């Protein structure tokens, strides 16, 4: 089967810092891919490159069979790529429901009536219905993370990008979020998930890649990767359970 997303030798540098160094990989339809790597490795930059808020210096990106390398960020979203931001970016003056509506009417290009139905369904799934009428600026951190997920889902993507969505949450909050993401994945959505909370990540993804200095240094079965010497080495430095 042809991949839903393909990065081909994607590179990007800021001066001497390489945030993406000949990055290549494929994401199969319906696959859940985890991404780990030290801080500053270029994980968020990789999402910026995929979503088009950052332009690659070289290399190509494909969504399905379409070459999206030169498409603008809004066009890529409309083609089927939606993300959550590591630092939540809510439309603070709009309510949670209105935030969702923006994604459905723009990203998914739905008419208002259809969008309202869709957003209600997603709010139910992400357990934010109780906050539907609350201005997004007034949400707690957990709620903001859920709103990031909600908005991305309302855009009805083919590929969902999650950036450290479990970071900073309590154990219980994280567990509830994992369940939601599992249900999204079970519906057949392809997901790339950047996460430092490794146990949360491993309960969802079936494949893991490791990024360091913008390079992909490992790619494969999650448990095998986590126990590989290369990953042990990187994580030893930042004190994770080595």
Partner 1 sequence: MSASQYRIVQSSGASRIAAALGLIVLALLVLAPYWAGRADLRLLGEVLLYLSLASLWNLLAGYAGLVSVGQQAFVGLGGYALFGLTMFGGLHPVLAVLVAGVIGGLVAMPVAALIFRLRGAYFAIGTWVMAEVFRLSAAQVSALGGGSGTSLPTPVVQSLADGRDAREALSYWLALAMALLALAVVYGVLRSRNGLALTAIRDNELAARSLGIDIWRTKFTVYVIVGALTAATGALLFLQKLRISPDAAFSANDWTAFVIFIVVIGGIGTVEGPIIGVIVFFLLRETLADLGTTYLIILGMFAIGVMLLAPKGLWGMVRARSDIQLFPLRRKVVAKPKD
Ligand X SMILES: Nc1ncnc2c1ncn2[C@@H]1O[C@H](COP(=O)(O)OP(=O)(O)O)[C@@H](O)[C@H]1O
Q: Which residues bind ligand X (CB under 6 A)?
A: 14, 17, 19, 37, 39-45
The single-letter DSSP state of residue 169 is -
Based on the shown chain and the rule CB under 5 A, indicate whether residue 45 belongs to the binding site for Mg ion: no
Phi, then psi, of 68 in degrees rounded to 5:
-105, 10
Residues contacting residue 175 through CB under 8 Å, at least 6 positions apart: none
Specify burial of residue 128 (Cβ count, 10 A radius: 0-12, 13-18, 19+).
Answer: buried
> Closest separation between CB of residue 42 and ligand X, Å?
4
Separation between Cα atoms, residue 74 and residue 188, nearest integer Å: 23
Task: Note whether 44 binds Mg ion by CB under 5 A.
Answer: yes
Contact 195, 36 (CB under 8 A): yes
Could you tell which of Mg ion, ligand X, partner 1, none binds residue 132, using a CB distance below 5 to 8 A set by kind? partner 1
Residues 180-239 that bind partner 1 (CB under 8 A): none
Shortest separation between residue 152's beta carbon and partner 1, angstroms: 8
Q: What's the min distance (Å) between Cβ of 77 and partner 1? A: 4
End-to-end CA distance of the chain: 37
**Does residue 51 interact with Mg ion by CB under 5 A?**
no
In this structure, are residues 211 and 41 in contact, taking their beta carbons and an 8 Å threshold? yes
Of 139 and 174, nearer to partner 1 (C-beta) is 139
Rounded to 10 degrees, what is the CA torsion of 136, 119, 195, 35? -140
Instruction: Kindly tell me which residue out of 37, 90, 214, 222 binds partner 1, with binding defined by CB under 8 A.
Output: 90
Residues at the interface with partner 1 (CB under 8 A) = 51, 53, 72-75, 77-78, 82-83, 85, 89-95, 97-99, 101-103, 105-109, 111-112, 115-117, 120-121, 123-124, 129, 132-133, 151, 155
């Amino acid at each position: 089967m042809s991949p839903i997303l393909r990065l081909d030798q994607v590179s990007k540098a800021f001066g001497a810092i390489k945030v993406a160094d000949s990055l290549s990989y494929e994401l199969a339809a319906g696959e859940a891919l985890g991404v780990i790597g030290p801080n500053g490795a270029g994980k968020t930059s990789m999402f910026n490159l995929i979503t088009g808020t950052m332009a690659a210096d070289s290399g190509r990106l494909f969504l399905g069979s379409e070459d999206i390398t030169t498409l603008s960020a809004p066009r890529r979203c409309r083609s089927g790529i939606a993300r959550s931001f590591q630092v939540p970016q809510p439309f603070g003056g709009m309510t949670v429901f209105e935030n969702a509506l923006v994604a459905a009417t723009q990203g998914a290009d739905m008419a208002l009536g259809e969008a309202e139905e869709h957003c209600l369904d997603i709010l139910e799934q992400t357990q934010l219905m109780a906050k539907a009428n609350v201005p997004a600026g007034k949400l707690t951190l957990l709620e903001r993370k859920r709103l990031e997920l909600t908005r991305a889902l309302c855009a009805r993507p083919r590929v969902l990008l999650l950036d450290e969505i479990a970071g900073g949450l309590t154990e219980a909050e994280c567990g509830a979020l994992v369940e939601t993401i599992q249900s999204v994945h079970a519906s057949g959505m392809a997901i790339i998930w950047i996460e430092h909370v490794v146990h949360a990540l491993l309960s969802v993804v079936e494949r893991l890649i490791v990024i360091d200095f913008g390079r992909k240094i490992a790619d494969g079965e999650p448990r095998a990767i986590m126990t590989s010497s290369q990953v042990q080495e990187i994580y030893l430095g930042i004190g994770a359970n080595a």
